[in-house]
Amino acid sequence: MSKLAYLGPEGTFSEEALRILAPEAERLSCPNVGAALEAVRRGVADAAVVPLENSLEGGIASTLDELVRGEPLLITAELLLPVRFSLLARPGTEIEHIKRVLTHPAAHTQCRGFIARELPDAVVVASASTAAAAQEVALPGSPYDAAIGAAIAGEHYGLLEIAANIGDRDDTVTRFVMVGRPAPLPAPTGADRTSTVAYLAEDHPGALLELLTEFSVRGVNLSRIESRPTGDGIGSYFFFFDFEGHVADARVGEAISGLHRVCADVRFLGSYPRADGIAPQIRRGTSDAEFAEAGEWLARVREGRL
């Protein structure tokens, strides 16, 4: 049986995602995303399930940063999980008495409207995860009156659901990914996604455009681009790219090869099936067959067979 690490403790959305992606796996709770990924790098876990992107908040900074540090890891699967938040408190707590709320920063961002409307005087404190917040609030003598998290976290730790579905939008989705050590990639399905990280060789006008051109001229559609600081000073960034297709596809392989030529470094994060199953639209001139025919034509030209 495989062992999968996740952002714990019990009752997080990460655990829910893991149960869906690998229901038979042994679960290893970790205090933060970095610890979950490090458990994979050290061989303590076979893979980890971590949040990567939220439809309201965007990329999850802690996951993005941890994926580019340390030994390379590969994304092998993804899941789109609808996220519903609840206000959780100890039995007997009235909402008007809630003055200190504990939750994860991402949950805070997604519930700002409810907090401003229903808890205008409450102080919101950050925790490592929504389940860790519920766990803390459940402790006798806890300085916090309530937590924001999944309803299942309240069930785990004996808290009552004071208010349900408190997110600012009811269609919020978080994208979770399964991450493992380098290994043979999942086979192409025709509805895949590829993720990479690219570092600029030098900062100059049009530098980002040069990277984007590698995708555009080959008909590769980007689904996400995000910059993160390298830590080497103000204005120094690297870029995360998610795009349609599999590295085995000619157009995708050529695009990544192009990035490698013009960038200081490129970290390949994986090609894996899309959770939504949507296949890309292949633009004229960018199919595998057309790339192969162009290569054969070039070979003839180089041999003087016109």
Angstrom distances, CA of residue 284 to CA of 53, 125, 237, 300: 31, 53, 34, 22
Give the pLDDT confidence score for residue 203 in this predicted structure. 84
Average pLDDT over residues 234-240: 88
User: Which residue type sits at 12?
Assistant: T
What are the Cα distances from residue 136, in Å, to 85, 88, 114, 147?
Answer: 17, 11, 22, 8
Domains of the chain (ranges; CATH) run 1-81+173-182 (3.40.190.10), 86-163 (3.40.190.10), 184-306 (3.30.70.260)
> What does the buried/exposed string (b/e) look like for 212-243 if buried means 16 or more CB atoms within 10 Å of the residue's CB?
eebbeebbbeeeebbeeeeeeeeeeebbbbbb
Percentage of residues of the chain with pLDDT beyond 90: 84
CA distances from 304 to 9, 90, 202, 291, 297 (A): 66, 81, 39, 20, 11
Distance CA 221, CA 191 (A): 13
Going by the DSSP 8-state scheme, the letter that residue 136 receives in this structure is: H
- Mean confidence (pLDDT) of the chain: 94
Token readout for 4 is: 């999968």
pLDDT at 223 over 80: yes
pTM metric for this prediction: 0.88
Q: Does position 106 have pLDDT exceeding 90, yes or no?
A: no
Q: What is the pLDDT of residue 56?
A: 83
Is 1's pLDDT higher than 90?
A: no
pLDDT value at residue 252 = 97
| Gyration radius (Cα) of the chain, Å | 22
- The yes-or-no verdict on residue 259 having pLDDT over 90 is yes
pLDDT number for residue 80: 97
Mean pLDDT of 109-122: 94
Q: What is the mean pLDDT of residues 47-65?
A: 91
Going by C-beta distance under 8 Å and a sequence separation of 6 or more, which residues neighbour residue 217?
none
- Please give the pLDDT value at position 300: 95
Using DSSP's 3-state secondary structure scheme, residue 69 falls into coil
- The count of residues in the chain is 306
Kindly indicate the confidence band of residue 204, based on its pLDDT and cuts at 50, 70 and 90. Answer: confident
